[in-house]
Amino acid sequence: MEIKNYSHALNKYLKILSRMDSRTRLIPLSMENNLLKAIVELDEERALEIARKELENSKSPFKMLEVLRKAADIIGEKYSKGEFFVADLVMAGEILKEISEMIRPLLQSEPRHEYVGRLIIGTVQGDIHDIGKNIVVSMAEAAGFEVIDLGVDVPPEKFVEAIKTYKPDIVGLSGLLTLSIESMKRTVDVIKNTGLRDQVKIIIGGGRVDESACKYVGADAWTTDAGRGIKIMLEWVKEKKR
């Protein structure tokens, strides 16, 4: 809930800022706020310029990582409230990805930083669509998750193998086609049968999922909304750490 309050406050702040003409601004914006504002306004050119300058100056990626996290949170929130649409998420995802790629080389030289949790995700067997999944991947990475993307048309056995190898907190099953619901159910059943169900939370997402599909599949949560999905996952990892 802390995250929610924070992002509300930030949103409000950004709204006030956006109403002010730059000449009338009394307090100069910090790099963080400037970057955050550019990302949330989907101003790609400006966001990349600020990020590039900041990296030249400070060489420290952590401040920027934090901004990306906040940005992903605000963007998700806006989508949930109906202020943002899929095309906005795709643009935001692209900006987040571009900045993450700028930061990546610097992160490798830093001591290993801590992820908020580990997610394995894939489009289930029989379905080879990945636009929705890719949106979730870029938003989850920006929100601080370590994401292992298994790709498309992933058979249940491959999910099981990945659970054994990576020991994730969360498994994300994605799919666009109607048949993906059946495939999600098969995947959850195989995870159950191999005795791994208690070790992971399972969330399903995609155009055809809803409450009744979630029950049928045997997942812990469902979403058609990447932002809401990230929020659910953040709450799960928070709960787990308690």
Q: Does 127 sit near other proteins (CB under 8 A)?
A: yes
Task: Tell me if 35 sits within 8 A of 67, measured CB to CB.
Answer: yes
List Cβ neighbours of 73 (8 Å cut-off, separation of 6 or more): 3, 6, 7, 143, 230
Residues within window 159-178 making contact with other proteins, judged by CB under 8 A: 177-178
Q: Does 209 sit near other proteins (CB under 8 A)?
A: yes
Q: Does 158 sit near other proteins (CB under 8 A)?
A: no
List Cβ neighbours of 149 (8 Å cut-off, separation of 6 or more): 120, 121, 122, 133, 137
Q: Does 213 sit near other proteins (CB under 8 A)?
A: yes
Please give the single-letter amino acid code of residue 67. V
* Strand residues in the chain grouped as ranges (E): 117-123, 145-149, 170-174, 201-205, 221-223
Q: Does 86 sit near other proteins (CB under 8 A)?
A: yes
Q: Of the candidates 58, 165, 210, 240, which one interacts with other proteins according to CB under 8 A?
A: 210
Q: Which stretch binds other proteins (CB under 8 A): 21-29, 46-54, 90-98, 229-237?
A: 90-98
Strand partners, 49: none
* Cα distance between residue 174 and residue 127, in whole Å: 9
Q: Which stretch binds other proteins (CB under 8 A): 61-69, 82-90, 109-117, 137-145?
A: 82-90
* Cα distance between residue 237 and residue 200, in whole Å: 11
Residue 14 tokens read as 């950004």
Q: How many residues bind other proteins (CB under 8 A)?
A: 29
Residue (of 50, 70, 64) closest to 9 by Cα position: 70
Q: Which is nearer to other proteins, 102 or 177 (CB)?
A: 177
Q: Of the candidates 49, 88, 146, 235, which one interacts with other proteins according to CB under 8 A?
A: 88
Shortest distance in whole angstroms from residue 212 CB to other proteins: 5
Q: Of the candidates 3, 17, 126, 194, which one interacts with other proteins according to CB under 8 A?
A: 126
Q: Which stretch binds other proteins (CB under 8 A): 29-37, 49-57, 97-105, 124-132?
A: 124-132
β pairing state of 221-223 and 201-205: parallel
Shortest distance in whole angstroms from residue 126 CB to other proteins: 6
Contact residues: other proteins, CB under 8 A: 42, 44, 82, 84-88, 90-91, 94, 126-129, 131, 134, 177-179, 181-182, 207-210, 212-213, 216
